[in-house]
Amino acid sequence: MAAPTSDRKLFLGARVKRLRRELGITQTRMAEDLGVSPSYLNLLERNQRPVTAQVLLRLAEAYDLDLKSLSSDPDSSGATGLSEVFTDQLFRDLGLPRHEIAEVAESAPGVAEAVVRLYRAYLDQRRLSELGAAGRPEEGGASAPMAMPSDWVRDFIQAQKNYFSELEEAAEQVVEAMGAEPQEFAWAARERLAKTHNIQVRVVPVEVLPESVRRFDHHRKRLFLSEALTGEGRAFSLAFQLAILEHRELLDRLADRSNPPDRPTRNLLKVSLANYLAAAMLMPYAAFHEAAERTAYDIDLIRVRFGVSFEQACHRLTTMSRSGARGVPFFMMRVDSAGNISKRFAGSTFPFSRFGGACPRWNIHSSFRSPGRIITQIVETPDGQRYFTIARTVTRIATAYAGEDAELAIGMGCELKHAERLVYSRGLDLKEPKATAIGPACRICERPACRQRAAAPISRTLTVDDFTKSISPYPFAEG
């Protein structure tokens, strides 16, 4: 980020205040860290003074920050989510300009997130009503949860930038106690479950567990794993069971501290945190980060080294945010062949759609036509930001010949400026790349002449007539 000049003042009060609150420190403590007075910091947070280059540099040094994370970003995830909300027909007559929405998201991110959550609850209730499932209060209609547990947990994890230092430290303790190399994890985990917890592991036929792949019998001290699981899946299941047994109190504490809205959401969050802990056991931070850097982020080499799946390695790459040992800030998305998003994480900003799917111009969808092969693409979002992406299909469990298709697609990416660190970018022109223009959900995307457009942007007027057939099925007036 360029340093502020005399003709370009940066007012980043909301960002500085949010950073301080995320760190859990007082104004006095931050002022000491930055070498300024508490009264001056107060003025900065209230946007009554611009942030100087010296203060920016001190922030970066004191808290190991990427300065870009403090820069003004009208297309941040908060602004994008709020923009999607206000495209609803309910608000169309207000004609809210983009800069006003961005200003609200920038100055009051908590309020913006509250509006997004309220809108999501409204959508959920509207869909239930349309399906005739709203019911009376006593039937559970009005008293149903105001937010889907999966949405709440996803937003919570993203708010932490998909990094939990306490879980990383806990994982390191278990790995050190086991004293096993990554390739020996599954064997060592079985030994630890047997000797420390008196738990025996059994791999059973799919007929025994027809609707699950893992089941723990608490009374008989047996962990049953389906034969449908791959070797990587079995190792992860062992790590998950160790995470629950050895750090139950930590997982409970973290889940309760997040203040989830209801019991189902808390349970899902706890399982998600246990999954994070399991992945950190299989792929300890320091060793994994070193392997990623040494192999230029060659995911197949990394996954073989740690005995994990392609998807597990990709997911782990989005968590490399440790101070002093940061990796490439990746984002990740998992979709099925119908375009439904089942996983979405980011170690950096990416304009994910909050209420729609991924843009059809992103080749994550076309990866189903070349299963198992990594394909690359450089994409450009409406704000002019460019990202380097890869996509590949994965299969999570073995399925019978006549069984249902279990294939999914994984999309990974990072800002183009990081692409030179990746093995996948070798041989490509990164200075003058050919970029594919993509956008958010169609109803808020204002890119003209898009062949894949599924709906007109609600902020524009349709210009359909009987004289011309445009490339886009929904032509609209620009400006």
pLDDT in tens, 118-159: 887 777 676 656 555 444 444 444 444 456 788 889 888 888
> In this structure, is residue 291 part of a structural domain?
no
Give Cα separations from 407 to 337, 369, 389, 398, 403 (angstroms): 8, 11, 20, 10, 12
31 and 48 fall within a common domain? yes
CATH of the domain at 187: 1.10.10
What confidence tens digit (pLDDT) does each residue in 313-372 have?
Answer: 999 999 998 888 999 999 999 988 888 888 888 766 665 666 566 788 888 888 999 999
**What would the DSSP string read from start to end of 409-458?**
EEEEEEEGGGGGGSGGGTTS-SSS---EE--S-GGG---SS-TT--S--T
The answer to whether the beta carbons of residues 52 and 37 sit under 8 Å apart is no
The answer to whether the CB of 241 falls within 8 A of the CB of 192 is no
Between strands 200-204 and 222-226, the pairing is parallel
Q: Residues 63, 98: one domain?
A: no
Domain count, the chain: 4
Domain end marker among 31, 50, 70: 70
Same domain, 402 and 328: yes
Beta strands in 272-406 (DSSP E): 321-322, 325-326, 331-335, 341-346, 375-380, 386-395
Which residues are registered as beta bridge partners of 302? none
Q: What pLDDT, on the 0 to 100 scale, is given for residue 52?
A: 87
pLDDT in tens, 78-109: 666 777 788 777 776 777 777 777 777 777 77
Determine the Cα–Cα distance for residues 145 and 301; give it in Å rounded to an integer: 43
The pLDDT-based confidence of 115 (bands split at 50, 70, 90) is: confident
Domain span at residue 60 reads 13-70
Q: 393 by DSSP, 3-state: which?
A: strand
Q: Confirm whether 2 is domain-assigned.
A: no
Q: What is the pLDDT of residue 49?
A: 86
State whether 81 and 61 are in the same domain: no
d(C-alpha 357, C-alpha 229), whole Å: 28
- Interatomic CA distance for residues 255 and 250, integer angstroms: 8
Asked whether residue 154 is domain-assigned, the answer is no
CB 367 within 8 A of CB 393: yes
